[in-house]
Structure 1
């Protein structure tokens, strides 16, 4: 289970997010190739690895061919277009641009959702109907590239889940094309009314740290706000630098985390679990698969589907989860969030389980986690699949060969 964790100690913006993902290893040339499917021009992407506060990270930017400064204003409505403002786009123009592209359906869905989220907020703040909103900042070329590029980078990164820390914003005011705006800027404040997102202000920073684009990305991809879990293995760390001079270290730090059952250390042989069940007959297979991934990522011990025949002879699916008693309420809420279920059933169970412990060995100079399961005289040794797969790929070996050699090496 691979998770992207956002450590937003200095806020969040589109260029910081893209810089951080590129720093993790997403190839900027792959992003450029996908962005060409939008059929827009007039920009160049740059990604320079530099040091700030003696820490290396990636400084990402969208450089406009016109040489114009990026406009960090907000919106204007149609009447104002006749008074010299022509460089933005309306929401429906942006949606059509994305829909008519050859981008993947996943990228299209996420990018359009982010633009619509920001558009609703701008419409509310400026008391303008949504179809009359003229995007002045987020509709500008650099912001289209930031948002669509971020969705492309997420697809290229290929993580199973995204989590985030409490997001830090600054205080005071910023000057934009339409005047002076308080921090958090009005669009960000409005976007925060739709979902509970933990944001704190750093009174020592007198500028904006959390942008509408950055918050839109967070709302679209982040499933949970929490601290780093000590049971997560940190695989990679990346930094994306911000452009504002805050007087502090202005960066978004991101982690690739991996969680496996090698973190579960079971010393007893009996415990109690709760089985959660629900019948579903109006949800697509793709959506159900996505729901299962989310449930397993958030603590379900097991999850599986069984085809069933429901009333009026309708085919349906029974979802069954096994969860710890303390996770019952959390997983129930997620069932309602990610499925079309209207109710769930609970069955408490006593279990007999094998004791489990974990060790690490080295094979071909690569670490391998070993799961040791035992019950009375029965003992079972299982090398971790992902570790064995990585070795098999690197040395062009069959998976069975790697498993057998590791077991022999462990048993000595």
Structure 2
């Protein structure tokens, strides 16, 4: 490919980690490399089976793991130690993979009322998840993908039996992970189509919905475990290039929504701003301004991707007292960034790392994580922040 490589996920029949691995093989990931992944992760006795199968009369690639009996489940800390001991895994892959596990642990912990560090992935499921997550993140890296996009995710329907009993589809933790992503229920009779692993991979890797135009270069299907009569249970993956010279991986066309109000309290404006962020706004700011007859007022500005602009515009009209919203098209250049997770005496701290045009970088620990670790350790947050940055430097 001559331009940036886009990976476009089409989860028309849900998404799971094994489906993503199969789809990656279908578009060019080396199956022998995938078979060697357990050895790289020091997962003894695990065998990877990669084969072509039919799903709804479509040729797909299916990935299965033969996993020996496991002694116990694994927590986030154990998975972190396992990944750090792995052989030859690029640092960016390790960081993204740990971020995916952290998302799962946090959302599972919220649902079941336990701290993320106490969440365990059970036995075989833990090995499955490790191979799915590291394999998918590393696979995109090996294929040279610059950006991942994901279309609306088909959720399935009905109920699923889990360790905690019968749960509605999607399972509560899975739905919590999917917050902020485009989803749709059904089709009827399909059962569970989205796993926590698949949802978390999309949450961390996806840059949003697919672009309106692109040039497909290669496509393929990863098979799901279920085999519905007359309907393909598969994930389609498209490798593509942007459709024209305007697209730049560092710049993207966005919509700026703006409205002025002079009869709302600060609390009401703050609530409206929070609602916009939860609904998918990329950024929301409140600015002081002067209205007609010199009345003090506030301007609310929301930055949106084009496909979300109508929904956010309606939300501004619903949640504030304004009677009009201005809309303008803008171009945003966003510096490349990644979220890395380090450990400060056993407590995870996420760090946002931004890469500057001159080749340098800036790093800032997430204050929520710093604050939580500081409380648990009885330390000054400034010290915890400095320790997190030192851990990041040591990891390099």
**Alpha-carbon offset, residue 171 of structure 1:** 1.2
Tell me: CA distance 1:295–1:46, structure 2 relative to 1, closer, same or farther (3 Å). Answer: same
Partners of 1:32 and 1:92 in 2: how far apart?
Answer: 26
**Alpha-carbon offset, residue 335 of structure 1:** 6.3
Structure 2 partner of 1:46:
49
- Residue 261 of structure 1: SS of its match in structure 2? coil
- Residue 47 of structure 2: SS of its match in structure 1? strand
Mapping of residues 181-260 of structure 1, within 5 Å: 181-193=167-179, 196-226=180-210, 229=212, 231-247=213-229, 248-259=231-242
Task: State whether residues 94 and 139 of structure 1, in contact with CA within 8 Å, keep that contact through their aligned partners in structure 2.
Answer: no
TM-score, with normalisation over the residues of structure 2? 0.61
User: Could you report, residue by residue, the CA deviation over 1:242-297 in whole angstroms, capped at 9, with x for unpaired residues?
Assistant: 002445310001111112536x7xxxxxxxxxxxxxxxxxxxxxxxxxxx96324x
Mapping of residues 307-386 of structure 1, within 5 Å: 331-332=331-332, 334=334
User: Could you report, residue by residue, the CA deviation over 1:290-323 in whole angstroms, capped at 9, with x for unpaired residues?
Assistant: xx96324x359xxxxxxxxxxxxxxxxxxxxxxx
Tell me: CA distance 1:115–1:330, structure 2 relative to 1, closer, same or farther (3 Å). Answer: farther
Partners of 2:334 and 2:174 in 1: how far apart?
Answer: 26
Partners of 2:85 and 2:241 in 1: how far apart?
Answer: 36
Question: Aligned pair count?
Answer: 265
Partners of 2:132 and 2:337 in 1: how far apart?
Answer: 29
Moved over 3 A (4+): 32-35, 326-341
Task: State whether residues 160 and 168 of structure 2, in contact with CA within 8 Å, keep that contact through their aligned partners in structure 1.
Answer: yes
Tell me: CA distance 1:88–1:65, structure 2 relative to 1, closer, same or farther (3 Å). Answer: same
**Alpha-carbon offset, residue 333 of structure 1:** 8.3
Task: State whether residues 6 and 164 of structure 1, in contact with CA within 8 Å, keep that contact through their aligned partners in structure 2.
Answer: yes
Structure 2 partner of 1:161:
147
- Residue 155 of structure 1: SS of its match in structure 2? helix
**Structure 2: segments with no counterpart, 5+ residues:** 255-325, 339-351, 355-396
1:97 to 82, 89, 102: 82
Structure 1 partner of 2:34:
31
Tell me: CA distance 1:137–1:249, structure 2 relative to 1, closer, same or farther (3 Å). Answer: farther
1:108 matches 2:94: yes
Task: State whether residues 43 and 142 of structure 1, in contact with CA within 8 Å, keep that contact through their aligned partners in structure 2.
Answer: no
Task: State whether residues 87 and 140 of structure 1, in contact with CA within 8 Å, keep that contact through their aligned partners in structure 2.
Answer: no
Partners of 1:340 and 1:105 in 2: how far apart?
Answer: 13
Task: State whether residues 62 and 222 of structure 2, in contact with CA within 8 Å, keep that contact through their aligned partners in structure 1.
Answer: yes
**Alpha-carbon offset, residue 141 of structure 1:** 1.3
Alpha-carbon RMSD across the aligned residues, in angstroms, is 3.0
Tell me: CA distance 1:330–1:182, structure 2 relative to 1, closer, same or farther (3 Å). Answer: farther
Partners of 2:166 and 2:330 in 1: how far apart?
Answer: 42
Structure 2 partner of 1:142:
128
User: Could you report, residue by residue, the CA deviation over 1:123-169 in whole angstroms, capped at 9, with x for unpaired residues?
Assistant: 11110122222222785212211111111211111111111111111
Mapping of residues 296-315 of structure 1, within 5 Å: 296=251, 298-299=252-253
Partners of 1:94 and 1:255 in 2: how far apart?
Answer: 30
Partners of 1:161 and 1:21 in 2: how far apart?
Answer: 14
Tell me: CA distance 1:44–1:327, structure 2 relative to 1, closer, same or farther (3 Å). Answer: farther
Task: State whether residues 106 and 115 of structure 2, in contact with CA within 8 Å, keep that contact through their aligned partners in structure 1.
Answer: no
Which shifted more, 95-104 or 18-27? 95-104
Partners of 1:250 and 1:121 in 2: how far apart?
Answer: 26
Partners of 1:124 and 1:145 in 2: how far apart?
Answer: 24
Tell me: CA distance 1:144–1:128, structure 2 relative to 1, closer, same or farther (3 Å). Answer: same
Structure 1 partner of 2:294:
none
- Residue 194 of structure 2: SS of its match in structure 1? coil
Which shifted more, 55-64 or 138-147? 138-147
- Residue 224 of structure 1: SS of its match in structure 2? coil
